[in-house]
Structure 1
Amino acid sequence: MVSGLPVPGQRAVPPASASRRSRVARWCARVEGSRWFEVAIVVVIGANAVVLGVETYPHPGSLGTLLRALEWFFRTVFIVEIAIRLLAHGRRPQDFFRRGWNVFDFVVTAAAFIPGLHGESAGLRVIRIARVVRLVRFSPGLRTIVTALLRSLPGVGGFLALALVTLYVYGMAGWLIFKEAYPDDYGTIGRAALTLFVLLSLETLPDLIEQGMALSPWTLVYYVSFVLITVNLLVNILIAVIVNSMEEARRLEMTERMAVDEDRDGVPDEIDRIMISQRLDDLRALVADLERELRIDRDAGQPRAGTRDR
């Protein structure tokens, strides 16, 4: 036998390090997918938010020492969390960064260790506040809303362009009409646009209409047309853009769920559940047909009461 060659019929034994690594990856995958792990991280993020709120109040030095210790505790927990989620991918840790929320979690956790961010610096506080946003990834509803808002940005950009044009046109018209009577509100195009922007809330509408009617009854046409075009038409367009993005985000999330194949049978798990549900429906229909046929046969085999008496 030549040294180093495998013996025929003998199974190759993987290296101990590879075996340990696979066991660690499987354990990390189980931990990451467990409900208690998710609940624990949510509780820690919530506690981090509470500590941030407590730091805004005056507190003695002893409490400050405790708050700093809690901050290091939170950092340690988040580092362990990211490490577990990275190791859960086994030999392909790069797959962890394929999801945007994972990248966000990694950046927020690692940014706390950037040199120069320490003590009570504003940058460190912003990073600590950003940790609270991580609660979004644990809520499917919030994830859908955030995804919808991001997907609606192109439509919102077009809406903002249309709104700026409308404010500019009506601002110039207001400057021409009211610049001498009400210079504080319409003295410049900037003041006129600001007045109309505040008017979008409709809180100042009665006062502005009263001022305009004192100048001329035709100013009522100016304010009514502005309210109809901006408050009603433009706001409804914005709502339609966001609602459409919400539907797209729901379809996208459903597509991502349907792409998951945890049992690795080549068929997505969502398709498996749909097929199983269809098979169960077919089985229920078959059982109902059999029960109906058996009931008909049983009724046909029983003699009628009058025939039995004869």
Structure 2
Amino acid sequence: MPNSIQLKQIVDSTRFNHLITTLILINAIFIGLETFPSIYQPYQQLFFAIDIVILAIFTIEVILKLIVYRFSFFQNNWNIFDFIIVFGSLILYNTPYVSVLRIFRVLRIFRTITTVPSLRRIVTALFMAIPTISSVLLIMGIIFYVYAILGTSFYADIAPEHFGDIFLSLVTLFQIFTLESWASGIYRPIFEQAPLSWIYFITFIVITTFIMINLIVGEIVNNAQKITDEIEDETEDIKQDTSEITELRKEMREIKQLLEEKDRSS
């Protein structure tokens, strides 16, 4: 039976990580195929067996990591996420809570994030940007509210189906924000009766869709760059440590050779 050092080498190995990633993708494909009754119904037992096997492998993976890392396993948020997804699926098997089990099965697909470092960096950057995103969303909420009041005041009589009250105006503004059929469906009929309405629509689109969204994207990109720089710094430190170890080994070999030559000469 392998010792803890060998287990750690297995768990941390690239092959093991690629195996788990492949199983996650296979699991995702089979969950998707289950949505086709013509495929799922004839092979229902096969789908069930494959799901059990994949879940068993995921469980073994988490157990191995618990054996290797012990309590430090739970110091990593990604490990906690894996633990909840896997053991949540185990606990809910053969229970009446089928809908909750389906949620956990679908959430297994998110484990791809935990096995792919580049995806982890992007998600981490997204979480780091939450304070800034929250501030931007608050400003956007204020802008939406102000423009909804203006739209209701100016265009309620012209287009009551879009600006009849503040709630309709907010929904309309969200459609304009997504740039989905805003020109032909909303703007042009109003423009025919209110030529200056272009100021209202263009300013709203420029402020929300272009400026605010770019602020959010820019913050996420900056955080991703910070994470990348930190990883590069850590890698550089490791390279320096490795170089120093190599130099020490070289010096030790030279000292050993000198001692051997001295012993021979004496």
Task: Tell me the TM-score normalised to structure 1 length.
Answer: 0.71
Structure 1, unaligned runs of 5 or more: 1-19, 260-267, 280-310
The Cα shift of 1:179 comes to 0.6
1:90-145 CA distance string (max 9 Å, x none): xxx10111111111111111111225764781111111111111111222211111
Residue 147 of structure 1 deviates from its aligned partner by: 0.5
Aligned residues with identical type, % of pairs: 25
Paired residue secondary structure (1:235): helix
CA root-mean-square deviation: 2.6
Name the CA shift for 1:274/1:225 in 2 (closer, same or farther; >3 Å): farther
Runs (4+) of structure 1 exceeding 3 A deviation are 59-62, 115-120, 251-255, 273-277
Conserved? CA contact 2:157–2:164, under 8 Å? yes
Residue of structure 2 aligned with 1:49, choices 5, 25, 28: 28
Which letter does structure 2 place at the counterpart of 1:66?
L
Residue pair 1:117, 1:124 contacting (<8 A) in 2 also: no
The structure in which a higher percent of residues are helix is 2
Alpha carbons of 1:222 and 1:148: their partners in 2 closer, same or farther (altered >3 Å)?
A: same
What corresponds to 1:288 in structure 2? none
Q: Is 1:153 aligned with 2:153?
A: no
Contact 2:176 2:182 in 1 (8 A): yes
Question: Structure 2: which 5+ residue stretches go unaligned?
Answer: 248-266
Compared CA separation, residues 126 and 274, structure 1 to 2 (3 A): farther
Aligned to 1:228: 206
Contact 1:144 1:253 in 2 (8 A): no
Residue of structure 2 equivalent to 1:293: none
Query: Which of 158, 165, 179 does residue 188 from structure 1 map onto?
Result: 165
Paired position in structure 2 for 1:129:
106
Cα 1:100–1:61 change in 2 (3 A) is: same
1:200 alignment partner AA: F
Residue 74 of structure 1 corresponds to 54
One-letter amino acid of the counterpart of residue 37, structure 1: F
Map 1:169-188 → 2, pairs under 5 A? 169-188=146-165
Q: What is the CA–CA distance in structure 2 between the aligned matches of 1:275 and 1:155, rounded to whole Å?
A: 41
Paired AA for residue 33 in structure 2: V
Larger C-alpha radius of gyration, 1 or 2? 1
Cα distance change on mapping 1:193 and 1:115 into 2, 3 Å: closer
Specify the code of the residue in structure 1 equivalent to 2:65: R
Structure ranking higher on relative contact order (CA contacts 8 Å, 6+ apart): 2
Match of 2:67 in 1: 87
Once the two structures are TM-superposed, the CA of residue 88 in structure 1 deviates from its matched residue by: 2.1
CA distance in 2, matches of 1:80, 1:116: 17
Name the count of aligned residue pairs. Answer: 245
Aligned pairs for 1:208-287 (under 5 A) are 208-254=186-232, 257=234, 269-273=238-242
Aligned partner letter, 2:181: T
Q: Please give the residue correspondences for 1:3-152 in structure 2 after superposition, counting only pairs within 5 Å.
A: 24-58=3-37, 59=39, 63-89=43-69, 93-115=70-92, 118=95, 121-152=98-129
Q: Distance in 1 between matches of 2:154 and 2:206?
A: 19
Superposed CA deviations along residues 230-256 of structure 1, whole A, max 9, x for unmatched, are 22222222222222222233245456x
